[in-house]
Amino acid sequence: MIFEQLNASDCKTYLVASEQTKEAMLVDPLFERAEAYVDELKKRGLTLKYVLDTHVHADHTSGAALLKQRTGATYLMHKASETGCVDQHIDEGDKVALGDVPVSFLHTPGHSQDSVTVLLQDRILTGDFLFLGDSGAGRTDLPGGDAHAHWHALRKLDGLPGALQVFPAHDYHGRASSTLDAERQKNPRFKFANEEEYVGWLNAQSLGPAEWMKDVISANYACAPAKAQAAIPSTKPACEVGGTKGDALMQSVTQITPEAVRMLVDAKKPMHLIDVRELSEWTGELGHIAGARLFPLGELSKAPLKAAPQPEDLIVTVCKAGGRSSNAAMILSAAGFKDVRSMTGGMTAWAALGYPVDRSAT
């Protein structure tokens, strides 16, 4: 059997193939790497027979639809999948073969309703159903997630041999694989005594999906012919429990558009414009908004606004693109200021609108 993980990123794509017949399967391919996979298969003289998504992905656009189109491979997903262009729906116990390499499946829902685990002779590809060690398993608060279902799916591993190697769809900590025995020892998901305890613990940590994840899921359902338009963060452990904690907090920050800020500035409305970038950015190409005060985020986090406005005053935080200013808005809200807004898109958006900037040091 040929078996290899093909990506350098935290998202794993597995190549499984028969040495004898050269028939291959790709598991969880990435959209942006589809052409690279086609080149790799060609170089090795392999024919892509199957392409499989272990579940509908929320953190990246699947390359399965594109690979099916490019190679004529059969696209496999679980029968509960809502993805539109799947050729063959699989279910627990179903079998396919790559020449002399038998492949079968377990239905392991919880992270999503359509999650499957791929069973090979000496290993299992668990998707986001099970991660390695302290990473536990995929979150159950995305659309289709169900903590109860996850508990029952974990029980399906009870009868499997401990020597089986475990290969997940993600590892955000640089690990490649483990064994089922090691997971039974180290993985916190095996430490709960009963379903009630397990579900209570999981649900207590749920923060809900970030907006961008919903866009990615929709694109994957639709077999999108292009990468999802959502801004997908490349290093975020999005499928881990609490992996979008920062996003969920960001969503609670009130935003204000640059156009609205410009109107307030022009109308000389009372407002505290707090620019949280560094001095070099303040005087750099993007400059700053006339009338703003420089208060780098690092200082703000130590002592929010020395010359403090009144708690009811309008405060607008500004940075380069809207990230640091959202953090700043959270800090100021937590410090008791009641009307704090972060300028969407930061000075990059302000400059793109052609609004005036000041580049002086004061």
**Contacts with Fe ion, residue ranges (CB under 5 A):** 128, 239
Query: Toward Fe ion, which CB reaches closer, 77 or 239?
Result: 239
Angstrom distance (rounded) from CA 362 to CA 206: 45
Dihedral angle of Cα 165, 170, 174, 178, to the nearest 10 degrees: -10
Closest-by-Cβ residue to Fe ion is 128
Q: How far is the CB of 36 from Fe ion (least distance, A)?
A: 21
Q: How far is the CB of 128 from Fe ion (least distance, A)?
A: 4
Taking the CB of residue 305, how many other CB atoms lie within 10 A of it? 18
Angstrom distance (rounded) from CA 309 to CA 219: 44
Dihedral angle of Cα 236, 237, 242, 247, to the nearest 10 degrees: 10
Q: How far is the CB of 48 from Fe ion (least distance, A)?
A: 23
Residue 66: exposure state from Cβ atoms within 10 A (0-12, 13-18, ≥19):
buried
Angstrom distance (rounded) from CA 317 to CA 329: 6
Query: Toward Fe ion, which CB reaches closer, 167 or 295?
Result: 167
Q: How far is the CB of 317 from Fe ion (least distance, A)?
A: 33
Q: How far is the CB of 165 from Fe ion (least distance, A)?
A: 20
Angstrom distance (rounded) from CA 305 to CA 320: 19
Query: Toward Fe ion, which CB reaches closer, 60 or 341?
Result: 60
Query: Toward Fe ion, which CB reaches closer, 10 or 128?
Result: 128
Query: Toward Fe ion, which CB reaches closer, 128 or 171?
Result: 128
> Could you say which DSSP state residue 112 is in?
S
Q: How far is the CB of 179 from Fe ion (least distance, A)?
A: 22
Query: Toward Fe ion, which CB reaches closer, 221 or 355?
Result: 221
Of 305, 287, 267, 299, residue with least CA distance to 354: 287
Q: How far is the CB of 130 from Fe ion (least distance, A)?
A: 12
b/e map of 124-136 (b: 16 or more CB within 10 Å)? bbbbbbbbbeebb
Query: Toward Fe ion, which CB reaches closer, 239 or 294?
Result: 239
Q: Which three-class secondary structure state does DSSP give residue 37?
A: helix
* Partners of residue 40 on adjacent β-strands: none
